[in-house]
Structure formats: structure tokens, C-alpha cells
Structure 1
Amino acid sequence: MKHRYLVILLFFKLLSGVFSSTLAQVPKTLDSVTVYLKTHTVQDTNYVIALNVMGRELHSKGNPDYKRADSVLWVAEKLAIKLNYGLGLSKAYTNLASIYYLTDRPQQAVEYFQKALTTAENHKLSPRFICGAISNVAAALSKLQQYEKVVAMQLRSLRLQEQYNVQPRIATTYGGLGSAYRELDKPREALVYYQQALALMLAEKNISGMAIIENNMGVCYDGLKRYDKSLASYKMALKHAEEVDFALLQADILVNIGLALKLSNRFKEAIPYVERSLAIGRRQENKATMATAYFNLGQIYEELKDYMPAEANMKKALELANERGNKEQIANYTQGLADLYGGMKNFQQAYVFQLERNKQIDSATVARTSAEVQRLVAHYETEKKEAQIKLLRQQAQLHDEELNRQRLQRNALLIGGTMLLLLSAVVSAWLLNRSRLRRLDEAQRLRKQIAHDLHDEVGSTLSSISLLSGMVNSLIAQKRPEAVERAIQKINTDARQILESMDEIIWTINPGNDSLQRIAMRLQEYAQPLMESKDISFSFQIDPTLVDIPISMEVRRSLYLIGKEAINNLIKYSQATRATVRFTRRDNQLEVLIQDNGRGFDVAQPSKRTGQTSMKQRAEAMGGSLDVQSTPGQGTRLVLTTAVVE
């Protein structure tokens, strides 16, 4: 089990330059603004700004005073409303939301960040301010794990920045998009946005922000199993965090370095880094940091089969999580201890912790873990019964030495038969649970796949249509007919794209298409008109022995997407006059050939446009392989091979 606890994106630190514009005569430090408020008797807009500065400084520094900051900001809000001062009111809402964000009240944080955004829009504040306010709403939604909404909000901010040419761009918009895509298990997309955020922060000399982004980039590289890259990112992040004396971020990065080393099977090297993180947590008296370090130390010792320190560290982690009432950590640490005791063959303790874990999770998760519970019950009950039977046999030997051998044999057979029946019952129950679990997992995977497809194929396009639709009225009012026409054409194009995407998703999940013949027909229907439009002589062949072979939804989808991508590349780039698509059976293997006589390319330097990496990943995910052969001037030959299941 892998756990990754990250420093939350500290948006209020990274938004320096978005909300930090104060009037020149208002001081910017806590001590100086305190003096200013005592001596400045006129309660004007400058007074509102000063209250906001005090509220921000009180809650965002090393020893935050949230209660006092809250009181100061409520005064700022009331005075700003009285003066009808939009900038001061929006800043007051922003700072109040920051307090709710930092004190684990994300729903209230969303509410007040939204108030700040609405106020900024109503008072027509600067585009930069409004874009930053949108990114703040997204940051709070991220804490609620509503990552699809985060992407939509951050893209909205990014489009407005482009529309109004906001310079420099807001780094947190890119960083927030990166974090959302990372949580949606799209590390490659996340890295693109993180790199843009890093470049902006470098230009701003925002060292804290650079440390956070480098840390998050390391997590993405871990997800891609590029541990050399992740370690380099983590160590750069640690250097930046040490430059600005950002202790808790240092602790988080040190744990991540330890985890990357653990994933690289360099367990002993990992221990000192996690211990340094634990030391920082103790100095800061931060129980969350200490709990994370203890648990990860325990997991590293578990990998080393050093069970005593593994058990001790995990128990300390669980104790701290219980003190904090952190349900997510309690659940993870309880499961970790159950797994640890299972590895130690201490099935009684494993059973106790697994039952405790099941009390903390919903019914769907209970279904996923029921097979594990049954396995532990079987182990424990079998061991107990074997011990009881052994004792009974010893007593029978002492008491019944005079009994004849034939009777003893009959008794032994009777006991053996009873045990066999008990064992058969236990095994049958376990197999039944495993079968039910498999069906639940398959249904869950299908639901996730449909949700993922709808998000990827439809979500972003709908966002585009929504944005363009909102722009049309504005363009009409500005009397720009050419721009209106272009926007409407783009809306029509996007709508057609959504219809095509929905058709593909429905076709993929329809069980009536579970055969190779159906997928071959689908690819032929897709390819034929494209080939004709380019005057390409096209041959499509399928081995008759493959026609009725069934194929799963996941494999069907991967086959179709690989074929579609290869055909698109052929149409766009090959300049071919002849092309062939052939489905062939070789022994127990399916071979799909896509070949052309076009201009070819150098496979040692593949173009990013061809999507070779994506196609190869899909082939590997379905248990197959993809071989691309091409030479400049001599065409391209793509061969996909995978197992046939009858």
C-alpha cells in the first residue's frame, strides 16, 4: 500500500502579486500596521486596507492567531460594506476564506472565496484580481477533492488571463491545474502545467512557490516510475524550502524523498530522510507531520522485514492520527497495521485491525475488503481448530491406550473427514466472496472508465462551448460580426465533436460489440471515407477464424483507439497512395497490421504528433505489444500483437 501526504498548495503564499496591491501609505508588516491603525483615526478606504493587512499577517505567519485575525477581518468587512469599497470587501472575504482553508473548513472556504469573486465581478475590479479570485475558489474545491470542478475553474481563469492579456500570468492557475490533473491520475498533463508554473515563479523569484511546485513534480515522476527524475525534483524542492526556512514543507519533501528511495528498493537509504522529517515535526510540534513520518518509517521497516520497529512506528502514527481525529489517516494506518500483521503471520491481530478498518469505511469498500477478512478468519479459525484437535489426540492417546488399533483408525478417519468438510466449507465461502468481489470490481472499473471518458471526451469541450456562448452576446454588443461568426462556427464544431465522442463511448460499453468482427467493422467504417478523401487505395482484411472471437470492453477500447490513432497519423502525415489494415491470427495471437507506402519517418526521433508513446502504453495495458517500423521514403509498418481469448 502506497501513501503520499503532500503539503497543500499554499495559494495565499503563491498569490503574491495577485492580492498584495495595497495603497502606498499603508504599512505592510504586522508591527507597523498595528501602529498605523492606532494613529489613523479616519475610517476610510486606507483603514480597510490596513485591517486586511493585519488580518493577513496574523493568520499567515509562523505562529498564526486565527481568532484575532478573524475578528479584525469582520471589522474590515463591515467598514468596506459601509464605504461601498469593493476592493477592500473582496480582500476581506479572501482573507477570511484563507483562515477557513487553513483550519480544515473547506466548505466555508469555498463559500467565502466565491463571495470574494462575486464582489470583484460586481465592482468590476481588475482582470488580474478576478482571475486570481477564480483560482482561489478552485484551490478550496481541491481540498474537497472535487477535481473536475477544479479543472473547469482553473481553465476559466486561464482563458480570462489570455482574453485580457494578464501579464505576468498567475502562477497558481497553472499550479492548480497541475495538482488537479495529478489527482485525476494524469501525471503527464500535470507536468506540463507544473513546468509553466515553475517558470512563472522563477521569474517572480517566488522561492516558496518553486519549492512546492518542484515537490509536486516529484510526485508526478513517481507516478510515472521515473525515480531518477523525482529524486532530482525533490532535492531541488528541498534546497528552495531550506532557503526560505519553510520547515513543514521541508518535512514533507524529506518524506517524499524517502518514499522515492523506497520505491527504488533503496530502503536503508530512505530511513535517514524520513527520520529528518520526523525531527522537524517534533520541533514544530506538528502531529500531522509526525504521524506521516512514523507511518512511512514503519512501511520502510516492513519492507526490510524488520517487524519490531515497523510495528512500533505504525502504532505511534495511528495514535497521533486518533488524537487529531483525522479519519483518512486513521483508516490508512489501520489498514497498514492489518497488512503488517498479515505479513508477520499474526492473523489474530490482522483480523482485529481489518475489522476495525471495515467500521471506518463505506459499504462499497467493505465489499472490496471482505475477501481479505474471510482469508484472515479462515487462517485464524484453522489454526485454532488444529490446536484443539492436537490436544484432543494427545488426551485420547493417554486415556485409550488399551483401545484396539482399528477403532483408533476409524476415529482418526472420522476426525479427518470432519476437518475436510470444515475446510471445504471455508474454501467454498472464500471462493464465493472472491467471485462476488471480482464482479464488484469489474462494475466499479466500468463506472470509473465511463466517468473518465465522459470527463476527457466531453467535459473540456462543454466548457469551451459554455465560454464561447458567453462571449457571443458581448461580441454582438461590440458589433463584431466576423468574430461572432467564428465563435458560432467553433460552437458547431465542438458540438459535433461531442456527438462523435458520445457515440464512441456508447459503442465501447455496448455488450453487443464484444467481438473482433464488430471492432474490425468499426475501424473499416472509420477509415474508408478518410482514405477516399485522400485518394488512397485502401485494403481491409480480417482472418475468418477471428470473426466470432469475443473481446472485453477494455481490450476493445484499446484496440479501437490504437487503430484510430494510427489511421489518423497515416491520413495526416504519410502522403501515401496505398494503405492496408489486416487482422490476422498467428497461433494464439491476434496481429493487427497497419501499413502504408508513404514518406515514412525516423523511428529513433518520433514526432510528438504521432502519439506513439500513448499507443504503446495502451498496447502494454491490454497485455500486448506495438512494433513501429519506418524509414524515411519507404513507408511505415505498424504491428499490434495481443493474446486471443476464446
Structure 2
Amino acid sequence: MSLMGGYKVAAQVPNSLDSVRVYLKTHLSQDTNYVRALNVLGRELHSGANPDYDKADSILQVSEQLATKLQYGMGLAKAYTNRGSIYYLTDRQPLAVMYFQKALTTAEEYKLTPRFICGAISNVAAALSKLGQYEKVAAMQLRSLRLQEQYNIQPRIATTYGGLGNALRELHKFTEALAYYRQALVLMHAEKNRRGAAIIENNMGICYDGLKRYDKSLGLYKAALNHAQEVNFDLLQADILVNIGLALKLSNRPGEGIPFVQRSLSIGQKQANKATMATAYFNLGQIYEELKEYKPAEANLKKALELAKERGDKEQIADYTQGLADLYGGMENFQQAYALQLEKNNRKDSLISIQTNAEVQRLIAQYETEKKEAQIKLLRQQAQLRNEELNREQVQRNALLIGGTMLLLLIAAVSAWLLNRARLQRLEEAQRLRRQIAHDLHDEVGSTLSSISLLSGMVNHLIAQKRPEAVERAIQKINTDARQILESMDEIIWTINPGNDSLQRIAMRLQEYAQPLMESKNISFSFQIDPALVDMPMSMEVRRSLYLIGKEAINNLIKYSEATQAKVWFARKDNQLEVLIEDNGRGFDVALPRERTGQISMKQRAEAIGGSLDVQSAPTQGTRLVLTTSIAG
């Protein structure tokens, strides 16, 4: 027995559809057990072989209201979760995100179990995945994994690994995705969760399709189909059957794929699921086109497009219109092909505009700005300007993709590093470092990505106003910011590279940074390191702090000193490392720290590694900065 929201919860509610109906008829008290029973009924009604989504939603609304009245946190969170699941399965993703987020907020407010909270995070990520926000999905799933590590949740939550695999798959990182899928599949088999295993096997098959390993994908699809049939998961069967047909087409066996896709169509028709039917019709059309059977190809593609229009799915409408245009091109019906191509282009342009405006609104609302690729849609007034700006757009997209992917890999690398450390002290050090890296990424990369996204959104307006000079300035700014992101990422990655775990590497990095700056100001520069320190190892945290303190001091010297001579010296005194940075410049009053920036930050960094920072200066007397820390660092 446990306590949730002030109410005792007895583990006596049945778990099957028929028995829970009997229970609700005989259980007259509207208490927490009644809420639990309503949640079970709602779950079974929407997740069974013949789902009744409307009835399930109505029952869960009653559960939600009663749980709110009773202040029963677990019951309310599960009601929200089940309603989110209904909207997820019926392609109402904004509602799914909203209700999964409500479940997460409720779980945190009522301090539910860490396992439930981690699962709630993964659910939000799953709904965001359907909206195409894959970088954000990856970040949320990694957040869930970090919590599972922090609380040592055993067994790990399979859907978290599966969700991270999905995000990587959508980013075309198929090999990386497969690694997470395999972990998810092991967990699903351990739980004897055949439904979950079918989903993971289907997704692994898609990855192998992307790698053009159709022998592997077909084997996984057939295993997934067997598991989906065992649990009567019809809609997943339909999805798998289409994937089998697609894999056969891609492996030059299109005729063999037709029966599988037709079975998928039959399931969609039985379920009256227009999305499933549209997908099946489209893939049938493409298979017939591959076989050069143009009449059935045309008929199926038209049915797919008609269903997509009925559903108002703008992306499917654009894709299916393009597919039909390609078919007419192959049939040499160029008039029809041209008309459909124009229609598709107009729809796609409209969709891009909507997505861009929505992204600007998310930025204004302070959503995570680094998770969205900026999209620049250029008008047709000047062909030369259009080509130039399209090239700029590609540079910007690549920069965002590099930044987002490196962020993902960086966090994953640190997470993997944590998993392999057995001693508590090392775990605590790694946690502190990860927080600092996240802080640096937010400070150094996040604001720049925000700038890129906002500038991208402005380009449309500038073009519409026929202001090419302003467009050019905006694109130049995007390029500058992109380069700044790459430099910041390079610097952060350098600090965590174990190959740089020596004082000599820090010294070389600082010298490489300082030398061109000194030359640009005609400053005679001397750099020395005590030979006894060359091979001295340095921890990641100490190395990072030493480098950042040195870099800040050199920047101040260049900006403010007006010096003609400067030196940097790494020396060993007893069991202490002493770093001296000295110039013969105009100096300053140390009682007025505003004249030189970053002194507080440098002193805080020195103290954080158990050292001290002494700044000696006076007007016209130059400046001497001495950083001292233990060799043991």
C-alpha cells in the first residue's frame, strides 16, 4: 500500500476489460480505486484490438475530474497519459503534446516515482517526434536517460532508448539509432512486451532500409509482424506490411511487395483509418509505377491524394502531388505533370511559410531555440539574388545541423562516460562537469542559434520589401554567427578530449591563441613553460578552468593594456603550479575592477579548482596576474 495525494491506494483494481467493467458497476464509492479502475478501462478501450477512442476519451475525462477533486496525483497523471496516448494514436499531435506535458507536470508536482517521471518525459518526446522536432526529442530522451542514471532506475525504460533511436533515425543517423534500438529491444524482450518489441523491430527495419541492407530489414519486419499479430495490434501490422512492400520494391522485387501492401490497405479499410489507407494506396501506386503498370499506378496515387486532402495533411498532400506529377512525367503526359508540379510547389511554399512563422512564435515564447533548422524562402524577383541566397541558406542549415548534432554527440559522450565510472567520486565530478558544459553550450551557442533563427525569419520580410542590401547584411550575419558556433563547439570539445590531459597541451593551446593577437598589436611576446611541467597530467575540469582564465587574461591584455611587451610563464614552485601573465602597459587601479572585465569570473574559476588568483597593477605600472593552484589539480 502506498500514499498518493493524501489517499491510500489498495492494489485491488482488476486489469482486464471485462473484469474492470464489473468492478465499476459494483464499486459504489468514488474514491481513488474508482479513479484507477476508470484509467484501466480507458486504457483498455483505446489500446485493444478494436479501439473505441471516443468512448475511452469520455471515460478518462471523468477520471481526470474525479482525480482532480480527490487531489490524487497518480490517478490524474495516468488519466492525462492515457488521453495523450489517444491523441497520439489518432494523429492529433498538438493535443498529445499538451496532455503528455500535463502528465509530466503533475508527476513532478506530486513527486511521483522517478520511473514515472522518466516515462512521462519520453511520452512528451514521442509526441514531439510526430511534429518533426527531432533535435528537441533527442534532448528530452537524453534528459530521461540522465534521470534514470541518477536514480539508478532498474530496469531502464525501453521506450526512452527507442525514442532516442527514432530521433537519430529521422536525422539519418542510422547506425547510431540502431545501437539505441538494440538496447530497447533487449529491455522489451526482458519485459515480455511483444507489442513494444514489434515497434522496435519495425523501426530497426527502417534503419536497415536506410543503410540499403534489405536482407536485414526484411527479417526484422517479419519478426515485427509476428509480434504485432500475437497482440492484435492491427495498425502496427498495417505499417509493417507497407514497409515490407517498400523493402521488396527497393531490393528490385516490386511484384512480391503488392500482396503485403494490399493486406495493409485491407486493415486500414477495416479500421476506417484514412491515414493508413492513404499510405497503402500511395505505396501501391509507386510499386505499380516501378512495374510500368501506369493505369493502376495512377488510380492508387489519386486515391492516396484524395484521402490526404480529406485529412488536411499538408505534407502528405505535397508528397503525393509530387508522386503523381512524377508518374505523369514517366507517362510523358507533361501538361498534367507540369500542372501538378506547380500545385505541389505552391503548397510546399505555403507550408514552409507556416512552419517558419510558427518557429518565430516559439522563439518569442522562449522555447529551446537551438532545436529547429531555420528555413529561408526566397522570392523570384531577381534570379541572381535567389541563387546566391540559396547558397547562403545551405551554409546556415549545415551550421545548425552541425551544431545540433555535435550537441547531441557531446551530451551522449558525457552520458556514456558516466555509465563507465564505478566510483562515486568520479560520478560526482562528471555531474558537475556536465552541468558546466550545458551552461557553456547555453551561453555560447544558444543565443547565437536564436540569432540565426530570427535572422532567417526576417529574410522573407526583407525580400518582400525589396531591400537586397539588408538581405545581404542579414545573410552575412548568419554566416558570422555560424562560424562563431563552430569555434565555440571546437573549444568546448577540446576541453573534454582526453588527448589534451597534460599541461603542455594547455600551454600550446594558449600560445596558439595569444600569438596572432600579440602580433596584431605589435606586442613583443614571450612564452615559457618549466620543463618539469611538460608531461604533468591535468584533470578535465582543471584543464578547462586554466585555459579559460588564461584566455580571459590575454583578451584583457590585448584590449586594454596598450603594452609593448608581454609574457606568459608556467612555472613549478614546490608543489604548486604558478601561471604568470604580465605586461608593461598602462595598468589600472585594482580597486576599480570595471576597467577590466572578467576579473570576478576568473577568480571564481581559480577558487573552483582549489587555487587563487592575484592581480597586481597600478596606473602606468603595467599588470601582473598570478594564478596558483596545487599540482595535484
TM-score range, shorter chain: 0.5 to 0.7
Task: Name the residue aligned to 2:27.
Answer: 40
Q: Secondary structure at the match of 2:325?
A: helix
Describe the superposition over 1:337-369 as per-residue Cα deviations: whole angstroms up to 9, x where unpaired: 111111211111112212222332226979xxx
Are the equivalent residues in 2 in contact too, given 1:457–1:501 (CA < 8 A)? no
* Closer/same/farther in 2, CA of residues 350 and 48 from structure 1, 3 Å limit: same
Query: Is 1:211–1:237's contact at 8 Å kept on the other side of the alignment?
Result: yes
Deviation at 1:260, TM superposition (A): 1.4
Candidates 436, 454, 457, aligned match of 2:406: 457
> In 2 relative to 1, CA 194–42 (structure 1 residues): closer, same or farther, beyond 3 Å?
same
| Cα separation, partners in 2 of 1:138 and 1:287, compared to 1, 3 Å | same
Residues 297 and 486 of structure 1: CA distance in aligned 2, closer, same or farther (over 3 Å): closer
Aligned partner letter, 1:451 = L
Q: Does 1:311 align with 2:281?
A: no
- 1:240 paired to 2:189: no
Larger displacement relative to structure 2 (204-213 or 68-77): 68-77
Once the two structures are superposed, the pairs formed by residues 212-291 of structure 1 within 5 Å of their partners are: 212-291=199-278
Separation in 2, partners of 1:530, 1:334: 56
Change (3 A) 1:24 1:457: same
CA distance in 2, matches of 1:365, 1:492: 36
- 1:487 Cα offset (Å): 4.2
Q: Secondary structure at the match of 1:362?
A: helix
Seq. identity, %:
64
Asked whether 1:326 is paired with 2:275, we answer: no
TM-score normalised by the chain length of structure 2: 0.60
The 2-side partners of 1:123 and 1:148 are apart by: 29
Q: Is the CA contact 1:182–1:190 (under 8 Å) kept in the aligned structure 2?
A: yes
Question: SS at the partner of 1:229?
Answer: helix
Match of 1:446 in 2: 395
Question: Closer, same or farther in 2 for the Cα pair 1:493/1:323, shift >3 Å?
Answer: closer
Cα offset for 1:77?
2.0
Distance 2:98 2:324 in 1: 38
Displacement after TM superposition at 1:228 (Å): 1.8
- How far apart, in 2, do the equivalents of 1:352 and 1:231 lie? 37
Q: CA deviation at 1:110?
A: 1.6
- Return closer, same or farther for 1:174/1:281 CA change in 2, 3 Å cut-off: same
> 1:95 deviation in Å?
1.6
Question: Is the 8 Å Cα contact of residues 195 and 231 (structure 2) preserved in structure 1?
Answer: yes
TM-score between the two structures when normalised by the length of structure 1: 0.59
For residue 32 of structure 1, report the CA deviation from its aligned partner.
1.9
Once the 2 structures are TM-superposed, how far is the Cα of residue 200 of structure 1 from its aligned partner? 0.5
Change in CA separation of 1:250 and 1:95 when aligned onto 2, cut-off 3 Å: closer
Paired letter, 1:122: E
Aligned to 1:348: 335
Structure 2 CA distance, aligned partners of 1:358 and 1:281?
A: 29
Aligned 8 A contact 2:126 2:137 in 1:
yes
| Residue of structure 2 aligned with 1:138, choices 117, 121, 125 | 125
Q: Residues 421-478 of structure 1: CA distance to partner in whole angstroms, max 9, x if unpaired? A: xxxxxxxxxx999877754543332222111111122356579999x9xxxxxxxxxx
1:199, distance to aligned residue in structure 2 (A):
0.6
Question: Which of 170, 177, 192 is 2:179 aligned to?
Answer: 192
| Structure 1 position 117 matched with structure 2 position 104 | yes
Residues 48, 76 of structure 1: 8 Å contact kept: yes
Evaluate the alpha carbon distance shift between residue 330 and residue 41 of structure 1 in structure 2; reply closer, same or farther with a 3 A threshold: same
Partner of 1:154: 141
Instruction: Give the whole-Å Cα distance in 2 for the aligned partners of 1:158 and 1:183.
Output: 19
SS across alignment from 2:348: coil
Structure 1: 5+ residue runs without aligned partners?
A: 1-21, 367-430, 469-479, 514-525, 535-646
Cα distance in 2 between the residues matched to 1:266 and 1:434: 43
CA shift, 1:192, in A, is 0.8
Q: Deviations over 1:355-411 (max 9, x none)?
A: 222332226979xxxxxxxxxxxxxxxxxxxxxxxxxxxxxxxxxxxxxxxxxxxxx
Contact 2:48/2:233 (8 A) holds in 1: no
Post-superposition CA distance 1:46-99 (Å, at most 9, x none) = 111112112222222233333332332222222222222111111112122222
Contact 1:202 1:210 in 2 (8 A): yes
Q: What is aligned with 1:182?
A: 169
CA distance in 2 between counterparts of 1:176 and 1:512 reads 29
In 2, the alpha carbon distance for the partners of 1:222 and 1:434 equals: 38
Aligned 1:354-433 pairs, distance under 5 A: 354-362=341-349
Is the alpha carbon distance of 1:163 and 1:328 closer, same or farther for their aligned partners in structure 2, counting shifts above 3 Å? Answer: same
AA matched with 1:341: Y
Question: Of 33, 38, 41, which residue of structure 2 is paired with 1:51?
Answer: 38
Amino acid at match of 2:234: A
User: What is the root-mean-square deviation in Å for CA atoms of aligned residues?
Assistant: 3.9
1:359 and 1:499 mapped to 2: Cα distance? 39
Distance 1:73 1:345, change over 3 A: same
Provide the secondary structure at the position in 2 that maps to 1:345.
coil
Following TM superposition, by how much is the alpha carbon of 1:239 offset from its aligned partner in structure 2, in angstroms? Answer: 2.2
- Residue 532 of structure 1 and its aligned partner are, at CA, apart by 11
For the residues of structure 2 that align with 1:512 and 1:246, how far apart are their CA atoms?
Answer: 46
CA distance in 2: counterparts of 1:189 and 1:446, whole angstroms: 25
**Pairwise CA distance, 1:327:** 2.3
Displacement of 1:267: 2.3
**Aligned counterparts of 2:441 and 2:270: Cα–Cα separation in 1:** 56
Task: Report how many residues are paired.
Answer: 423
Letter in 1 for 2:185: L
Distance in 1, matches of 2:21 and 2:440, equals: 60
The equivalences for 1:477-488 within 5 A come to: 487-488=431-432
Q: 1:424 — aligned with what? A: none
1:109-157 CA distances to partner (integer Å, 9 max, x unpaired)? 2222122112212222111111111111111211221111111111111
Deviations 1:236-292 (A, max 9, x none): 212222232322222211211121122222222222322332233334333322221
Q: Distance in 2 between matches of 1:337 and 1:512?
A: 38
